[in-house]
Amino acid sequence: MTLRLDKIGKSINRNWIVRDLEFQVNQGECLALLGPSGCGKSTTLRLIAGLDRANEGKIFINNKDVTTSTSLERKVGMVFQSYALFPHLTVANNLLLGLKVRGIPIDKSKKKVSNIISLMQLEPFANRFPSELSGGQRQRVALARALLREANVYLLDEPMSNLDAQLREELRPELRKIITSDGKPIVYVTHDQQEAMSIANNIAVLNNGKLEQIGSPRDLYERPSSLFVAKFIGRPQINLIMAEKNISIGIRPEDIYFDEEGIPAKILYKEWHGNTQLISLNTSRGELRMTCEGSFEVPNTIKVSWNKKKELKFNAITGNRI
**Parts of the chain belonging to CATH 3.40.50.300:** 3-229
| Cα–Cα distance measured from residue 180 to residue 199, given in angstroms and rounded to the nearest whole number | 10
The pLDDT, as a whole number, for residue 81 is 67
Answer for the pair 256, 240: CB distance below 8 angstroms, yes or no. no
| Cα–Cα distance measured from residue 23 to residue 6, given in angstroms and rounded to the nearest whole number | 7
Q: What is the DSSP letter of 82?
A: S
- The amino acid sitting at 227 is L
| 56: Cα separation from own chain's centroid | 25
| Cα–Cα distance measured from residue 19 to residue 9, given in angstroms and rounded to the nearest whole number | 4
Answer for the pair 196, 188: CB distance below 8 angstroms, yes or no. yes
- The amino acid sitting at 70 is T
The pLDDT, as a whole number, for residue 104 is 84
The pLDDT, as a whole number, for residue 23 is 95
Helix (H) or strand (E) holding 150: none
The pLDDT, as a whole number, for residue 273 is 86
| Cα–Cα distance measured from residue 44 to residue 179, given in angstroms and rounded to the nearest whole number | 19
> What fold characterizes domain 3-229?
Rossmann fold (3.40.50)
Q: What is the DSSP string of 206-229?
A: EETTEEEEEE-HHHHHHS-SBHHH
> What fold characterizes domain 237-315?
OB fold (Dihydrolipoamide Acetyltransferase, E2P) (2.40.50)
3-state secondary structure of 316: coil
Torsion sign over Cα 184, 234, 38, 175: positive
For the chain, 322 residues long, give each residue's pLDDT as a single digit of tens.
Answer: 899 999 999 998 889 999 999 999 998 899 999 999 889 999 999 999 999 999 999 999 999 999 999 988 898 888 876 777 889 999 999 999 888 888 888 888 888 888 888 877 888 999 999 999 887 788 788 878 877 877 889 898 887 776 677 777 777 777 777 777 777 899 999 888 888 888 899 999 999 999 999 999 999 999 999 999 999 999 899 999 988 788 999 999 999 999 989 999 999 999 988 889 999 999 999 999 999 888 888 887 899 999 899 999 999 889 999 8
Measured N-to-C along each axis, helices 106-119 and 91-101 cross at an angle, to the nearest 10 degrees, of 130
The pLDDT, as a whole number, for residue 48 is 96
The pLDDT, as a whole number, for residue 144 is 82
**Parts of the chain belonging to CATH 2.40.50.140:** 237-315
